[in-house]
Each structure stands twice: as C-alpha cells, then as structure tokens.
Structure 1
Amino acid sequence: MSGADGCKGQTVARRGFRVDGAGSVTQDTARETRTDRRGAVAAALMLAMALAALDSTVVSTAVPQIVGDLGGFSYFSWLFSGYLLAVTVTLPVYGKLSDTFGRKPVLVVGAVLFLLGSLLCALAWNMAALIAFRVVQGLGGGALQGTVQTLAADLYPLEQRPRIQARLSTVWAVSAVAGPGIGGLLASYADWRWIFLVNLPVGAVALWLIVRHLHEHRGEARPRPRVDWAGAFTVFACGGALLTALVQGGVAWDWLSAPSLALLGTGLALLGAAVVVERRAAQPIIPGWVWRRRTIAAVNLALGALGLVMVAPAVFLPTYAQTVLGLAPVAAGFVLSVWTLTWPVSAALSQHVYRRIGFRNTAMLGIGTAALILFAFPLLPYPGRAWQPTLLMLLLGAALGLFQLPLIVGVQATVGWEERGTATASILFCRQTGQTVGAALFGAVANGVLAARLGDAGDLDAVTGALDGGAVPEATRRAVADAVHTGLPGRGLRGDP
C-alpha cells in the first residue's frame, strides 16, 4: 500500500460531521472546519485518551494503601487485569456500534460508563466491589480508546492525520507513564479514593466538549440499523475467557491447572460459537472483510506482533536495570519509559517519510530498524552502564513510532466512514491481544530462565531480597544478576553462559 494508493483508497463518507455549523467535515472537507471548534473537539479527544491511559497504570503505586483499607491482597492483580480485559474485549464491539449508530453516541455512552465506574470505585467498600467497578471503568475505557482514534481520522484529512494521531500517542504515553506517580502522590498525601475522583471533573469537561461541539448528521434516509447482539456477547465472552487465561496463567494458578485449562477450553468453545454466529449475522460485530482484505489483515497481524514485541522490554528491562546495573526502582522505571519521548516525535515525522516511499515501505523501515535494536539487547555488556539500555530504548521508540502510525493512517485511508470504526477497532484489538500474549509468553520465559539459573542463589527469600535491593550476601546478589543477564531475550534462548 503506497502513499498514492492510500490517497486513492479514500472514499467520501455517506455520513459526515459538522462542528457547530462550520460545514460538513469528512475525509475530504475537514480543512473547511473552523479551527477553534475542531480544536475543541480535539481537546476533548485528548482528555478522553488521557483518562483511558491514566487509569491503566494509576492504581499500581496505591496498592498498599488500597489493600490496607479494603483487604483482599490475593486478588489485587485483578485491579489491573479486570480493567485491561474489559477495554480489550469491548474494542471490536464499540467499533461496530460506532459505524452503526455514529461516533458521538458511542463516545458519550463510553464516557458516562467510565465516569460512573470511577465514582463507584471511589465508593467501593471491599476489594471485590472495587474490582467489579474497575471492570465498569474498562467497559467505558474501551469506547474511549477506539472511538477517539476513529474520530481523529474522521475530522482530519489524510495529510493532517499524522499530527493529530501523534498528539494522541503523546497524550497516551505521558498519561500512562505519569499514572504511577500521580497515584502514589494521591495515595500518600490525600486518599487512594481520589485516584478515581479526579477523573470526574476531567471527564466531565471532555463530555461537555463532545456534546456541545460535535454534531453528526445523516446524508440520506436509512433503515433502522440491526445490531448483532448475539455476536457481541459471544465475542465478549470468548475474548474474556481466553485473555483471562493468558493474563492469570502462571500468576494466579499454574498453566496446566484446572482453572487454566477450563478457561482455555471455554474460550476455544466460545471462539467456535462466535465464528458460527458471525457468519450467519446480517451485520456481524467482526465482519469477515477485516480478514479478507489483505491490507487490513496484514496490519492486524503486524500490530499484533507489535503488541507482543512491546512487552519484551517491559518484562525484562526493569529487573535487568535493578539487578545487573544496580539502579534504584525510580531510575529503572526511567530507563524503560524513555521510549515515550521518541515514539510520538517519530510518529509525527513519519508523514514526511511515507509521502515519499509509501505507507508499507515506511512501516517496513520502522520494524526492520526495531528488529535490529531488539537484537542488540542480548549484546548488552555485563555489568554495563545505564546509558546503554537507555539509548536502545530511545532508538526503539523512534523505530516503533515509524512503524505503527503509518499502518493506522494507511488502513483508515482505505475505508469509508461506515467501515472506519470497525477497521480501527480491529487493529487496536489485535495490538492489545498481542500485548496480552506477549506478557504471558515473555513472563513464562523470564521465570523459566531464572528458575533454571538460580540453583546456587540461595532460598526464595534471599532471591527476593536481591531483586528488591535488600541486604543479601554478595554471592547471592551476583548469582541473581548473572541469571537476569542470561535471561535477556535471545541470550537465554541461545544458551550463552
């Protein structure tokens, strides 16, 4: 798919957008939109994106205070996985609904659900209630994440989309990285319930801007839409079962335990049911064309692979930085997070590249560079210096920014209004699923390598102390550092000493 092909692939949407009477806004007429009004809608999209990203990480540093207040330590991991699972499995459902009923209703409903979930989280009386309300938050967060990126493509022409998508990427990255710090400050100096209460005024502003400034209108009379509710249920249930098995396997229970096998079996059975239901539906939630069209299918697979690759540094690098490099947890977190500095910059500049060489070649350049950088991680010296993995993460962020954005913009350019929500949700769902699979895969690899290499490191308490920087014998600490260094992606698989 070249740049020229992407432009030719644009079709004029049968349903457009207008911003306070400023004129119809479609792919081809977005430049006629009054800048201040479109800016107000863009601000609302960024606020919504910030909330969805912030709440994926903000709880992490407040866990001690939450557990101390509500109890339920053995279930606290569901505070994260419950939210992320709800976001992931609802993405394809909201994508189809936004194509059927319009972006605004879906975004408004999602914002209301998210704010309701935030309020209920702040009022939670025990851990089970808090987890349930986090799922409610995630049900709204799925609508925010998918619809925001679809709306950005609706409101901006092709040549301007890299800038708005790069801004959204920046907002997402900054919010996700800032989440733990904000959560820790609120939990330490106020109360953990404020982590959720602060969402209310910010979300209310975003909701007001959308309701006030975004207006959809129909270009022609259309029959009453039919919703594939059976397909929505089977997709939701199938995704929930399979992703829960992947997220909790090896954590809450063993991979071959009864709960894990039951979830996997149920998920596979529901997957078969979903295929049957979707093939028979007149308007399926996941239409077959998202896999029959080669361009979209290729991007689905590519972003699924991207999601998987993104997890590898997150799994290995913090432990490597603390045990091998001897960095404090805050410094180790900085080493990991620096790729959020170069990712959005590279994404914003990618338009200058794909206009010359096309979407596909730009993405190939990005993923090829990223592969070379990932192969450099096993070559990090021992013990090494902190600037070395930091530099690699900066370069990796730049490469992945060059890879992801051209694919998203390219897919959105090849579909019309009535397919864009489904197409966007499809590629985002694949990326999220790739991250889930990657977390399970690389987590299992890391645990396996460490378990195989730590025979001389002492008992579990000593190992835990070494990982946390506690006072342990030097021989134990060195054994742990050697095991972690050996366990870097690629090095452990090669069997290097």
Structure 2
Amino acid sequence: MDTEKATSSHEVSQNLTRVGSEALEPENFEAGNQTSSPYPEGIRFWLITSGMCIALFLTNLEIPIVTTSLVAITDDLGGFDKAGWLISSYLLGYVGVVVIFAKLSDIFGRKPLFATAISFFVIASAACGAAQTIVQLIVFRAFQGIGGGGCFALGVTMITDLVPPQKWAAFGTNIAIVYAISLLAGPIMGGAISERTTWRWVFLINIPCGVPALLLIVFAIPPGFPRHNVPNNAPQTFRSFLVKDAYKRLDFPGGILLLLATLTLTAGFHEADSAFPWKSAYVITLLTASIILWITLILWERHVTLADGDREPVMPWVFLKSRTVLGLLLGSTFLGGTWFVGVFTLPQKFQLVHNTTALSAGIRTMPFTFAAPLGAAWASSVTGRYKVPVIFVLFISAALQILGFSLLATLPDTMNVPARMYGFQIIAGFGCGITISLPAVVMPFIVDAKHRAVGMGAVGQVRIMGGAIVLSIATSVFHSYTKPRLGAHYHVSTSRFGHETNPEEVRSIYAQGYNRQMIVLAAFAGAQVLAASLLWKKKQVTI
C-alpha cells in the first residue's frame, strides 16, 4: 500500500511538472482552457517591470561605478595592489550563481528567488559601505556579486514570463536599454560621488533604492508565478520541497561543478601575470583544475540529460549538442570581454593618460556607453520588425566592434584627448550594444520551453565570465608592456592609483599599454565572427 501511494505521488508530481511546462506555452491559454491571461496585466505588470528594472539597474551599476572610485577607495583603505579584486570579486560572485538561480526559480517560483537575490544584494551593499579594510571590502563585494547575479538571472528569465512571444524581442530590448543605461551612468556617478562625498555612498546608495524594488517584487508578483494560473498548481515551499522529494529535481552535483569550474577559470586568469606569473604553480594548478572540472561537468550533464530521470540538468546537454545554442553562448562570452573591458579601461585611460578627474573621465566615456542602448534598439527593430536573420546582425555587430577597437588602438599619446576618440567610442559601443540583448532574446525561440530559464541565464553567465577572463588577459597584456618599460619611473603605491608623478615618458608608456588592450578587444570582437558563423543554416534563424 505504501509503495502504491509513493508511486501515485510520484506520478502526480511528474504530471504537474509536465502540465506546468506545457501551461507556459501561449497556445495552451486559449479560451476555455484558462480563466485569465497567463501574463500580468495593467498595474501589476508595470509594478513587476518597475521592480525588475530597478534591481537590474542597481546590480549592473555596481560594475562600472566602482571603476571610477578605485582611487578614492584605495586612498582611504590602502591596498592599491589589490584594487583589481574589487572588480573581479564582484564578477566572480556574479558569474558563479546565474544559472543556479535560474534553475531554482523553475522549482520554487520566480518570486521567492528574486526577493532572496535583492535582499542579499542590499545587505551585502550595506556591508561594503561599512568595510574598514580593503580585504573586508573584497569579501563583501563577492557576496554582493552573488545577489547581483541572482537579480540578473531572474530579470532576464522573467522576460518570457511577462509578455507573449511576439513581444519578447521588443520587451527584451527595453530591458537591455535599462541595463546599458546603468553602465552609462556608473562611471559618471562613481566620479561624482568620489569627488563630492565619501566613496562609501557608491555602495550605500543601493539601500534606499533597493528596498523599493524588493517591496515591488514581493507584493506585485503572484504566488507561484509564472505557473500561478495552472489548475491545482500550489506554490512550492521549502517544506513541500523536502517532504515530497522535490529536491530530487535539483542537480546538486552539476551546480557544484559549474560553480567550481567557473571560479577556478576566472580566478586563474585574473591572477596570471598579476600576483603570480603565468608559469607559476598557482596559476597552472587553477587552470588545470578548471579544465578537469569543465570536462567533468560536461560528462555529468550528458549523463543526467540522457538518463531522463527526475533530476533536471543545470546545464542541459542539448545546449552543447546544438550548434546554434553553442554559437550564441560563445558569442556572448566574447562580447562580455569587449564590453566589460571597454567600460573598465576607458575611464582609467582618461585619468592616467589624459590627466582628467574621475567625474570628467566618466563623462568622456559616455559616447561608448550611450551608443550601446542605441545599438540594442536597432537590433530589435531589424530582427523583430523587418525579420533580418540574426546571423547577419551578429556579423554587423562584430564588424563594428573590430573597426571601433582597432581605431582606438591607433590613438596617439598626447595629453589632449583627440576628438576622433569619441567617434571611435561610438562605433565600438554601438557594435557591442547590438549583441547585448540579442542572444538572450533569440534563446527562447531555439530551445524547449523547459530549458528557457536556464538558457537565458546561461547567456548572462557566460557573458560575465567572458568579461572576467578577457579583463584578466587585457590586464596581463598591459602589465607585460608597461612594467619593463617604466623601470625607475614606476612606483606602485599601496594607496594611490599609479605613480607619484606623471612625466611625459611615463604617460606615453601607459598610453601604449592601453592601446595594446584595445588590440586584445579587437581580437575578441573577431572571435565573435567565428561564433556567429555557427548559426548558419539553410533557413536562417529569425525572431
């Protein structure tokens, strides 16, 4: 009898899971099947969207806002030699959890996971604002990144939950514009805060802004969303998760392998030629461990997918089998490098080479960051309204990035900012913007409904991972050029950004170092051409 009950319970659980996935398909919401629309409407839709946009704005703002605040932070806390970790620790925390949050939201629902992510982000931001040492700040930044990664995962995933398929492209582009505006505002806000008040407000500003986002998410999202309209679909709770054996759906080994593989890879590249030489045992061990972990993850996910049991793979094998999906993920990885390194490097170049203030550096970076949302809007228009195949739009994006970053690599080392630099920034930024939202918008059209959340989360995860890896490569190229040539001129302080003085020779060396970083970005833009080529079909992908 007990065995029969257990079997019956398992069948009911499987049926509800199947019905839940099918219920998310638009064709299953015809009249007579459901009593109301599966998508939030009216004021509820706008409240959810507002909360989501605020959360995405704040969590993405934390990437560039700190870039122009590094001088003020290290002047106060010391530890300039560890300043790079203030960026990398956030990215490492961010990149390690995106897919995991997306998968957990499939089981527990979007609402509790989104609320958890925002709460984590706000609390960690308060801790960052109260940090008394550079090491404390680095640790708190990693926790802040975990909250930020969760917010990004849920924000991107909910694009397909809030509007029907015919509106995915336009809605996704609007969300990408919010994302791009946050990166536009970050350097300016960071510079203004550093010059006018304490750097701690770079982090503390998230508290009064993040709490309203949390309240909107908690009170506006229906319980059980996005399956709130499915009959007899009670929201999953932690108790039912344990009692009903729903935890068996979680791919714990896959999640752990994904987290460790990502962290060892990004940490290895970050430390290479920075704290440790490339040939050091530390770097070699990290990178070797990462390769082993990635291979193990792939084999494990293949096993889980082919077993077709209760466990739901955190990175479905179908993603690696599909040439189209693989092309989108690789393209997003390379874009992460060109975009994030551009946002990180350009303000530094203005301060060190052209001797501008932090605020001025943020303003002068605006052509790059402002062009990105324009590129995203253009991509949405040509792919959604005019049905231009996605592959051709990706080719255009890569070509503009190659051109823009190559031109930026040719700039002279003059004290004055050449006027053409702003035009070159626009070309590169517009090219990056085209691909910011496109892979995430395309993903739901080429994967099964049950893999949408993980697929869209994976796009964000690999983009951040690419940013962390390419940032470390570009930094290594910069140091390998500048350190031997600076010689007696070079003086790294534990508190100040760079050197005690700024003679012409030193400034010229820095300028050439930054130009070489632009060459690195042009190369990764070229790699996007190869990634986009994987999307080639007789009948091209359109949205």
* Native 8 Å contact 1:363 1:403 kept in 2: yes
* Native 8 Å contact 1:335 1:389 kept in 2: no
Q: Cα distance, 1:155 vs. partner?
A: 1.0
Partner of residue 230, structure 1:
253
Partner of residue 83, structure 1:
90
Give the counterpart of 2:435 among 403, 424, 427.
403
Partner of residue 319, structure 2:
290
Coordinate RMSD, CA, aligned: 3.9
Deviations 1:255-300 (A, max 9, x none): 2223222322332333344334433433221111122122211101
Partner of residue 54, structure 2:
47
User: Is 2:70 the partner of 1:95?
Assistant: no
Give the counterpart of 1:170 among 158, 171, 177.
177
Q: CA separation in 1, counterparts of 2:258 and 2:157?
A: 21
Deviations 1:110-155 (A, max 9, x none): 1122123223334445444433332222221111012101112321
Give the counterpart of 1:246 among 269, 278, 282.
269
Correspondence list, 1:200-215, <5 A = 200-215=207-222
Distance 1:428 1:491, change over 3 A: closer
* Native 8 Å contact 2:188 2:362 kept in 1: no
SS at match of 1:250: coil
Q: CA separation in 1, counterparts of 2:63 and 2:459?
A: 19
User: Is 2:23 the partner of 1:14?
Assistant: yes
Instruction: Read off the aligned partner of 1:287 and give its amino acid letter.
Output: P
User: Is 2:452 the partner of 1:420?
Assistant: yes
Partner of residue 3, structure 1:
none
Instruction: Read off the aligned partner of 2:230 and give its amino acid letter.
Output: G
Correspondence list, 1:367-406, <5 A = 367-380=398-411, 383=414, 386-406=418-438
Q: Cα distance, 1:84 vs. partner?
A: 1.2
Moved more, 383-392 or 70-79: 70-79
Q: Alignment length, in residue pairs?
A: 472
Partner of residue 349, structure 1:
378
Distance 1:393 1:487, change over 3 A: same
Distance 1:14 1:78, change over 3 A: same
Q: CA separation in 1, counterparts of 2:373 and 2:119?
A: 29
Q: CA separation in 2, counterparts of 1:393 and 1:145?
A: 26
* Native 8 Å contact 1:162 1:350 kept in 2: no
Moved more, 382-391 or 425-434: 382-391
Q: Cα distance, 1:86 vs. partner?
A: 0.7
Q: Cα distance, 1:90 vs. partner?
A: 0.8
Instruction: Read off the aligned partner of 1:133 and give its amino acid letter.
Output: F
Q: CA separation in 1, counterparts of 2:318 and 2:196?
A: 52
* Native 8 Å contact 1:382 1:485 kept in 2: no
Q: Cα distance, 1:404 vs. partner?
A: 3.5
Q: CA separation in 2, counterparts of 1:244 and 1:117?
A: 21
Q: Cα distance, 1:314 vs. partner?
A: 4.8
Distance 1:63 1:36, change over 3 A: same
Q: Cα distance, 1:382 vs. partner?
A: 6.9
Instruction: Read off the aligned partner of 1:278 and give its amino acid letter.
Output: E
Partner of residue 4, structure 1:
none
Distance 1:363 1:85, change over 3 A: same
Correspondence list, 1:147-186, <5 A = 147-183=154-190, 186=193
Q: CA separation in 2, counterparts of 1:379 and 1:192?
A: 34
Identity %: 24
* Native 8 Å contact 2:380 2:438 kept in 1: yes
Q: CA separation in 2, counterparts of 1:491 and 1:94?
A: 32
Q: Cα distance, 1:35 vs. partner?
A: 3.2
Q: CA separation in 2, counterparts of 1:277 and 1:261?
A: 24
User: Is 2:33 the partner of 1:24?
Assistant: no
SS at match of 1:82: helix
Q: CA separation in 2, counterparts of 1:233 and 1:170?
A: 33
Give the counterpart of 1:260 among 283, 286, 297.
283
Instruction: Read off the aligned partner of 1:460 and give its amino acid letter.
Output: Y
Distance 1:479 1:214, change over 3 A: closer
Distance 1:208 1:330, change over 3 A: closer
Distance 1:372 1:131, change over 3 A: closer
Distance 1:466 1:59, change over 3 A: closer
Q: CA separation in 2, counterparts of 1:488 and 1:138?
A: 25
User: Is 2:494 the partner of 1:449?
Assistant: no
Partner of residue 6, structure 1:
none
Distance 1:363 1:469, change over 3 A: farther
Q: CA separation in 2, counterparts of 1:65 and 1:312?
A: 21
Q: Cα distance, 1:176 vs. partner?
A: 3.2
SS at match of 1:256: coil
* Native 8 Å contact 1:57 1:179 kept in 2: yes
Instruction: Read off the aligned partner of 2:404 and give its amino acid letter.
Output: I
* Native 8 Å contact 1:170 1:340 kept in 2: no
* Native 8 Å contact 2:349 2:511 kept in 1: no
* Native 8 Å contact 1:466 1:477 kept in 2: no
Partner of residue 490, structure 2:
460
